[in-house]
Amino acid sequence: MNTSDEIFPLVDADGRVTGKATRAECHSGSKLLHPVVHLHYFDAQGRLYLQKRAAHKDIQPNMWDTSVGGHVGYGEEVAEALLREAGEELGLHDICPVFLFRYVYESDVERELVYVYSAVSSVQPQPDCNEVSEGRFWSVDEIFASMGKNIFTHNFEGEVEKVLHCRKVEN
């Protein structure tokens, strides 16, 4: 199946499925709200693993982004999508993600209901070169020093401080 033919659920702001549409329809400027998952993957030293999006990605190519990010497929549960994406993108299979929050993200071409999770582990990610052009752990200081310099995706910059705050509250 061509990726533009993938079927995504359409949802309301509470995550209830209201219909379905193709990836192409969702990314065409239609602003059809569809769910996605983000995983912020930390090592034991508190560094955050970021991935650089591959050049062929249709949205924000070549930008540094959350550890894992991907769409929820039609008929798939959010938690299933998160674990699938973690395995596909970074080869992470034995993680225990913690749900942090969700929010609606809107860009020029799409609207997403973003489910944000974090996980901590000592397992070294093994990025899939078809999904991720490169990846590495960043210190919190490195992240904040690079903000606003067109290095990170807009949605990552919009959510990272809230993720770090949620992690402080957890600990």
**Each residue's pLDDT tens digit, 117-135:** 999 999 899 998 877 889 9
* pLDDT value, residue 169: 63
**pTM tops 0.85, yes or no:** yes
* pLDDT value, residue 1: 54
Residue 151 in this model has a pLDDT that exceeds 70: yes
* pLDDT value, residue 96: 94
* pLDDT value, residue 120: 95
Q: How many domains does the chain have?
A: 1
Residue 41's CATH number:
3.90.79.10
Return the structure tokens found at 75.
């008929």
Among 162, 126, 153, which residue's Cα sits nearest to residue 65? 153
Spell out the residues 6+ positions from residue 168 whose beta carbon is closer than 8 angstroms to its own.
Answer: none
Strand partners, 78: none
* pLDDT value, residue 61: 85
Q: What angle do CA 76, 103, 110 make, to 5 degrees?
A: 75
Q: Pairing mode, if any, of strands 64-65 and 48-53? A: antiparallel
Task: Give pLDDT tens digits for 69-108.
Answer: 999 999 999 999 999 999 999 999 989 999 999 999 998 8
Domain, as residue range, for 67 = 3-170
Distance CA 82, CA 88 (A): 10
